[in-house]
Homo-oligomer: A and B are copies of this chain.
Amino acid sequence: MSVDGDELKDSHGPDHPQSVGWTRAQKMTLFTESHKPLVLESGGVLRSVEAEYETYGRLNDMASNAVLVCHALTGDAHAAGWDVDPAGPLREFRHKKPGWWDSMIGPGKAIDSNRFYVICVNVLGSCYGSTGPASINPETGLPWGLSFPVVTVGDWAHVQMELLSQLGVKKVCSVIGGSMGGQIALEMSLAYPERVSSAVILSAGHRVTTQGLAFNAVGRHAIINDPNFNSGDYYGGPQPIAGLAAARMLAQITYLSEEGMGYKFGRRLRGKASPDFTLTGIEFEMESYLSHQAESFVRRYDANSYLYMTRAMDYYEAAEKWGNGDLTKTAARIKARTMVVSFSSDWLFPPELCRELVSAMCRAGCPVSYLNIPSRYGHDAFLVETEAVRRLIAIFLKDSTG
């Protein structure tokens, strides 16, 4: 197996030998027995949960080769390959490109589907197939909207572990995720130390920064104050796209870095040599980029889910939850061999924050490796610095069971 070579730089078509090929999302209904509903950390109860997931490769006889890949805020279960049957208006974009981490997952790739049974589960509360605010509340026959209970990173770990159990996986070989997915990977290691052999946490930490809380608050404010929001009850009517667009534009800034933006856009005007002196139109390439990002996003994402996802990220504080505020005590729970990766220009989950976690793990005697990769791609680097991430994950997984 090789993770080298420029031929891996971009994703392949479904017929390429290193592609997982055509994929089809699967669904499993969890917590269906009436005596075992899903009790959420918020106190909410769900009497049944539908989880959308994809798998690549095969589970071996010992059920020892499962790798759980956890998606980020606006991601989905379609991590690799080409979706044979994208359904619903929110999924039209799937036709055009392969899974969000196709560069990493496939036969002979860093997360080698010849060796591993790779699983990616859409998180609870999302709008991509798993139960969420746009789903029908069986008790009313109407979409949940904001009556959907608040979910947390802990709940996501709980649901994903339940799905793994149903798939016959008692102990997962590795849990790998970036950003929000990295929070889930960490939480899996903390909540189920006996069931996680190794974990890779990219561009994530044990909490969001205060600035992160603030940015999420502004994004939600923009959505909630959109007149079409209607207290979250907008399904079938006009959507709160202006608010969601503002939230996405703002978030997009936090995914890049000043250095990266300066390099890519600088102060270049959009298709003109001199400004038009317009207040409401586009002048700069930077503005054009943000507008396009937002336009494409509002077609594929649900505003309510955006509220649920960001709130869950806000609430997560591993040390508060597991160590009474003591991060070293928290880290001492972890039995998984762990790799933490940060990127120099990431200011959403900055290297200093990752180092707090890594230091605590070192103090607690955890087998942890840590790398800070120089990059100008900011938070997005975990998806953009493909070559570096691919090498690190391949090396990390080399000696894993499977």
Chain A interfacial positions (CB closer than 8 Å to B): 42-44, 146, 149-150, 207, 209-211, 213-215, 217-218, 220-222, 224-227, 231-232, 242, 245-246, 249-250, 253, 258, 261-262, 265-267, 275, 277-280, 283-284, 286-287, 290-291, 294, 307-308, 311, 314-315, 317, 320, 347, 350
Instruction: Name the CB-closest residue of B to A42.
Output: B277
- Set of chain B residues within 8 Å of A218, measured between Cβ atoms: 246, 249-250, 253, 290
Contact of A314 among B209, B283, B308 (CB under 8 A): B283
- Set of chain B residues within 8 Å of A207, measured between Cβ atoms: 267
- Give the distance in Å from the alpha carbon of A315 to the alpha carbon of B276 in the complex: 11
- Give the distance in Å from the alpha carbon of A24 to the alpha carbon of B207 in the complex: 50
- Assuming the A-B contacts A150-B278, A222-B246, are A314 and B284 also in contact, with contact meaning beta carbons closer than 8 angstroms in the complex? yes
> Are A214's CB and B253's CB within 8 A?
yes
> Separation in Å of the A325 CB from the closest CB of chain B?
10
> Are A210's CB and B314's CB within 8 A?
no
- Assuming the A-B contacts A290-B218, A314-B284, are A211 and B253 also in contact, with contact meaning beta carbons closer than 8 angstroms in the complex? yes
> Separation in Å of the A253 CB from the closest CB of chain B?
5
User: What are 8 A-B residue pairs whose CB atoms fall within 8 Å in the complex?
Assistant: A210-B261, A210-B262, A210-B267, A214-B261, A217-B284, A225-B242, A279-B307, A280-B307
Instruction: Name the CB-closest residue of B to A152.
Output: B277
Instruction: Name the CB-closest residue of B to A265.
Output: B210
Contact of A286 among B213, B232, B307 (CB under 8 A): B213
- Give the distance in Å from the alpha carbon of A280 to the alpha carbon of B304 in the complex: 11
- Assuming the A-B contacts A258-B209, A262-B209, A317-B267, are A280 and B214 also in contact, with contact meaning beta carbons closer than 8 angstroms in the complex? no
- Set of chain B residues within 8 Å of A149, measured between Cβ atoms: 277
Contact of A279 among B220, B226, B246, B279 (CB under 8 A): B220
- Give the distance in Å from the alpha carbon of A172 to the alpha carbon of B265 in the complex: 38
Secondary structure dominating the interface of A = helix
Contact of A249 among B217, B291, B350 (CB under 8 A): B217
Q: Which of A221, A224, A279, A287 has the most CB of B within 10 A?
A: A279
> Separation in Å of the A192 CB from the closest CB of chain B?
23
Contact of A266 among B150, B210, B262 (CB under 8 A): B210
- Give the distance in Å from the alpha carbon of A242 to the alpha carbon of B209 in the complex: 25
Instruction: Name the CB-closest residue of B to A308.
Output: B279
Instruction: Name the CB-closest residue of B to A251.
Output: B218
- Set of chain B residues within 8 Å of A44, measured between Cβ atoms: 277
- Set of chain B residues within 8 Å of A317, measured between Cβ atoms: 267
- Set of chain B residues within 8 Å of A242, measured between Cβ atoms: 225-226
> Are B211's CB and A275's CB within 8 A?
no
Q: Which 4 A-B pairs have the closest CB atoms?
A: A225-B242, A42-B277, A150-B277, A210-B261
> Separation in Å of the A185 CB from the closest CB of chain B?
21
> Are A290's CB and B217's CB within 8 A?
yes
- Give the distance in Å from the alpha carbon of A190 to the alpha carbon of B308 in the complex: 51
> Are B220's CB and A261's CB within 8 A?
no
- Set of chain B residues within 8 Å of A294, measured between Cβ atoms: 221
Instruction: Name the CB-closest residue of B to A287.
Output: B217
- Assuming the A-B contacts A210-B258, A278-B150, are A286 and B217 also in contact, with contact meaning beta carbons closer than 8 angstroms in the complex? yes
> Separation in Å of the A297 CB from the closest CB of chain B?
13
- Assuming the A-B contacts A207-B267, A267-B317, A307-B279, are A213 and B284 also in contact, with contact meaning beta carbons closer than 8 angstroms in the complex? yes
> Are B213's CB and A267's CB within 8 A?
yes
- Set of chain B residues within 8 Å of A278, measured between Cβ atoms: 150
- Set of chain B residues within 8 Å of A43, measured between Cβ atoms: 277
17 new A-B contacts, CB < 8 A, other than A210-B265, A214-B290, are: A146-B279, A150-B278, A209-B262, A210-B261, A211-B253, A213-B267, A213-B286, A214-B286, A217-B249, A217-B286, A221-B246, A221-B290, A232-B279, A246-B246, A277-B315, A280-B307, A283-B314
